Structure 1
Amino acid sequence: MLFFILSTIGKVLTKDEERDRDIMARIKARDASALSELYDQYNRLLFGLILSILKKREEAEDTLQEVFTQIWEKAEQFDLERGTVYTWIVSLTRNKSIDRLRSKVYKEQKKQSTSLDNEDVFYPLYSDETDPLENTILTDRAKKLRDALDQISDKQRKVLQVAYFNGMSQSEIADEYDIPLGTVKTRMRDGMIKLRELLAKEIEL
């Protein structure tokens, strides 16, 4: 869904990636201080992502700790040829958050009786007053993504957000919000194309 966007944004700073590769190499060599450095670099960004998905600070804090434990345990699985450190840890974080979101407890709590037009569903990413992402993600990458999302249509943005932050498939979105599957696919495709164009203007690929 939005993972390719995050991957694209991850290319913004070459120096950052060189630093991250060095840190990952040290983590693979079981250097605990390297994990601390990675935490200092990315904990705010990842916490904001987790909080946007889970909506609960305590759950987000627990999940963040699980993410860094998983990074330590799965460091050997990181393949430099398949992507950047940034995209790898973002993917791992999202997957961990979605797993918790889809757990039995969250399935009970996340039953939605709202429509896709209800702005409350997307409040964590778009409120300027108490938005947790505004308070936790203060990076150039997050700003570029938010600015790009603000420039696509509401319908495209909302479908993409539900898919990414709620981990819903196109079929699930169509069923949940009573939208024709073809319409969901069109909105997602057109939204992704527009985001690619917007981000390409900001990032040298």
Structure 2
Amino acid sequence: MNRLQNGDKDALRLLYRKYNRILFSMIASILKNREEAEDCLQEVFTQLWEKAEQFDASRGKVYSFLVTMARNKAIDRTRSRAYKNSKKEDHTISDFTLTPESNKNNPYEDLEMEERASVVRKALQKLSDKEQKVLQVAYFQGLSQSQIASKLDIPLGTVKYRMRQGMIKLRENLIPDELR
């Protein structure tokens, strides 16, 4: 990120290679449209290039920063009028794979992504079923807390509490003791 903040285009290329597949999968799971997901991913990396100085290593890791950017960008897109109008077309994500074309058949990236997914799955399994459900709906369906409350038929305060507790527990499960 230091290199990127100093205008190094190769640093952006490296970040893209490392994170584009996982970000694309998350964005696609929210948008349910491959073309929209590809556009959104491009916007995320464009925003990263333009606003790299906003990253503060003392506040978190690059991965968390990118996931937050991508998730917010995807949710913004779902809420936009253009997205709602284009959703009428029938190009759903089920017609496609969840990986961008440019990175297929890279076994090293596949292995890295599988390992990360496994670590996150194990951390999620340590949460209560209620915490898991709220986080899954938030991150994979892109719903706001009030929408989650409505969808799951639970009070908004309960949603907020479960999300906060779940995120605290996830952080505890994902950050090694020596880094806390």
Q: State the TM-score, normalizing by the size of structure 1.
A: 0.63
Closer/same/farther in 2, CA of residues 56 and 147 from structure 1, 3 Å limit: farther
> Equivalents in 1 of 2:162, 2:127: separation in Å?
10
Which residue of structure 1 aligns with residue 176 of structure 2? 203
Q: Which residue of 2 aligns with 1:143?
A: 118
Structure 1 range deviating more: 90-99 or 168-177: 168-177
Kept after mapping to 2: 8 A contact 1:163/1:169 = yes
2:14 aligned with 1:37 = yes
Q: Distance in 1 between matches of 2:151 and 2:84?
A: 13
Contact 1:45 1:139 in 2 (8 A): no
> Identity of aligned pairs, percent?
59
CA distance in 2, matches of 1:183, 1:67: 31
How many angstroms apart in 1 are the aligned matches of 2:34 and 2:146? Answer: 29
- Give the aligned partner of residue 155 of structure 2: 180
- CA deviation digits over 1:131-179, x for unaligned, max 9? 848x978243332112222454444322211223334333332224432
**Structure 2 matches for 1:15-34, cutoff 5 A?**
24-34=1-11
1:15 aligns with none
Q: CA deviation at 1:185?
A: 4.3
* Secondary structure of residue in 2 paired with 1:168: coil
Question: Greater RCO between the two (CA within 8 Å, min separation 6)?
Answer: 1
2:33 corresponds to 1:56: yes
Q: Which runs of 5+ in 1 are unaligned?
A: 1-23, 111-123, 125-129
- Maintained 8 Å contact 2:145/2:156: yes
Alpha-carbon distance in structure 1 between the residues aligned to 2:165 and 2:16: 35
Alpha-carbon offset, residue 94 of structure 1: 1.4
**Structure 1 residues 68 and 170, CA, compared in 2 at 3 Å: closer, same or farther?**
closer
How many residue pairs end up in the alignment? Answer: 161
- 1:169 matched to 2:132: no
The residue number in structure 1 matching 2:91 is: none
Match among 134, 140, 149 for residue 159 of structure 1: 134
| 1:54 shift after superposition | 1.3
Residues 31 and 74, structure 2, Cα contact 8 Å, conserved in 1: yes
For residues 70 and 195 of structure 1, do their structure 2 counterparts lie closer, same or farther at Cα, with a shift above 3 Å needed? Answer: closer
The answer to whether the Cα contact below 8 Å between 1:160 and 1:191 also exists between their aligned partners in 2 is yes
Q: Which residue of 2 aligns with 1:71?
A: 48
Cα distance between partner residues in 1 of 2:6 and 2:166: 41
TM-score, scaled relative to structure 2: 0.70
- Residue-by-residue CA offset, 1:2-51 (whole Å, 9 max, x unaligned): xxxxxxxxxxxxxxxxxxxxxx2222222222211111111112112211
Structure 1 segments of 4 or more deviating over 6 A? none
After superposition, the CA RMSD in angstroms is 3.2
Question: Aligned residue for 1:91?
Answer: 68
